[in-house]
Amino acid sequence: MSGNGLISSIRRLIHADERLGAPSPFEQLRQQMEDVLGDGGILKEVIQPGDGPPVPRNASVLIHYSGFLEYSDHPFETTTNLKYPQMMKLGRDVTLAGLELGLLTMKKGEFSRFLFQPQYAYGDMGCPPFIPTAATVLYEVHILDFLDSGQVDDFISMSPEEQNTVPLSTLLEVVNTVRSFGNRYFNMRRYDNAKDRYKQGMMLLGNRDAQSDAETERIDKALLLFYLNLSLTELRLDRPHKALKYGNKALEIDSNNTKALFRCGQAYLELHEYDSAQDCLITAQAKKPFDSDINNLLRKVATCYKESLDKQKDLYSKMFRHLRSK
């Protein structure tokens, strides 16, 4: 979302009356905004409400934002031109005090406008040459997603012995957040970053000493997701041997898992091991006979297998011809 249109509309409406002492654009906006802290330093207007709980402290947020000066149609900074905005951690990557405090009032999917007085923005000094001294600034913020990375940070700071004392449910929440980070990186095609997150979650689960068969089952269920994610990520990184390793680890937990069988089939195909690829995919097809991905890959394997045999046949034929000619 962008508020360029709103700013432009306000400017057009009041342009003729500016010299007559009409309210400025920011003064007009203030009349419809909420005072977040009670001191007038941060004012907020919700344009599109979000869902769920507000952003927690120390979270990592995925946002689009644009900053405007009064009477300016164009932002002095924006992320709206980025296809994949950076995940920003509160307390570290978000350096504007007003923006961080404003984010703590927002929910996932929310789009809001904020007016920040200088003490919550760039101070009395400003930020030459873009931000003048003692400037009030308008920020438009659309929060796409957030992850409670504070809980992850707290857990990782513990020793392995301390980690084993926390409830298993807490560990599962932590690794689920870690996997969400990995999924976010994967969707951004940052596969090495995704792989690192998946391996981190796998390690945290592997360090857990299960206290019962029920705990072992829950840990294995969580590990299965990481193995599947790692197998696909290694395929994207053109590392079929590693993809096959994680696919087989997933099958050790659930030998009937069609995703794991499919990943192994993909890896074997990349390794030109067509018999093994067919075995995996035929087993998967028996469980999901109408799955188009499985059926399409099976056809691809059959085609590649035939082409490979034809090439071998042609090669042997040439060899025999060469031997007979001697």
According to the model, what pLDDT value does residue 270 have? Answer: 96
> Coil, helix or strand for 47?
strand
Mean pLDDT of 278-294: 96
pLDDT band at 107 (very low <50, low <70, confident <90, very high): very high
Is 146 within 8 Å of 61 (Cβ atoms)? yes
Strand pairing category for 111-116 and 42-48: antiparallel
Percent of the chain scored above 70 by pLDDT? Answer: 89
Chain mean pLDDT for the chain: 90
Alpha helices in the chain (DSSP H): 4-15, 25-30, 97-103, 149-156, 160-163, 168-187, 191-206, 213-236, 240-253, 258-270, 274-287, 292-324
Q: Judge: domain 151-324, CATH 1.20.1630.10.
A: no
HEC per residue, 124-166: CCCECCCECCCCCEEEEEEEEEEECHHHHHHHHCCCHHHHCCC
Q: What span, in angstroms and rounded, lies between the C-alpha atoms of 320 and 95?
A: 74
Domain residue ranges in the chain: 10-147, 151-324
According to the model, what pLDDT value does residue 87 have? Answer: 87
pLDDT band at 306 (very low <50, low <70, confident <90, very high): confident
Q: Which residues, 6+ apart, have CB-to-CB distance to 28 below 8 Å?
A: 10, 14
Q: What span, in angstroms and rounded, lies between the C-alpha atoms of 223 and 68?
A: 46
Mean pLDDT of 25-47: 95
pLDDT band at 321 (very low <50, low <70, confident <90, very high): low
According to the model, what pLDDT value does residue 10 have? Answer: 47
Mean pLDDT of 278-290: 96
Which residue shows structure tokens 């269920």? 221
pLDDT band at 318 (very low <50, low <70, confident <90, very high): low
pTM (2 d.p.) = 0.77
Q: What span, in angstroms and rounded, lies between the C-alpha atoms of 162 and 196?
A: 23
Q: What are residue 138's phi and psi, to 5 degrees? A: -105, 130
Q: Where is mean pLDDT largest: 84-93, 145-154, 257-266?
A: 257-266
Mean pLDDT of 270-289: 96
- For residue 229, the one-letter residue type is N
Classify domain 10-147 by CATH number: 3.10.50.40
- What are the tens digits of pLDDT across the range 156-200? 999 989 999 999 999 999 999 999 999 999 998 999 999 999 999
- What are the tens digits of pLDDT across the range 220-258? 999 999 999 999 999 999 999 999 999 999 999 999 999
Q: What span, in angstroms and rounded, lies between the C-alpha atoms of 115 and 278?
A: 61
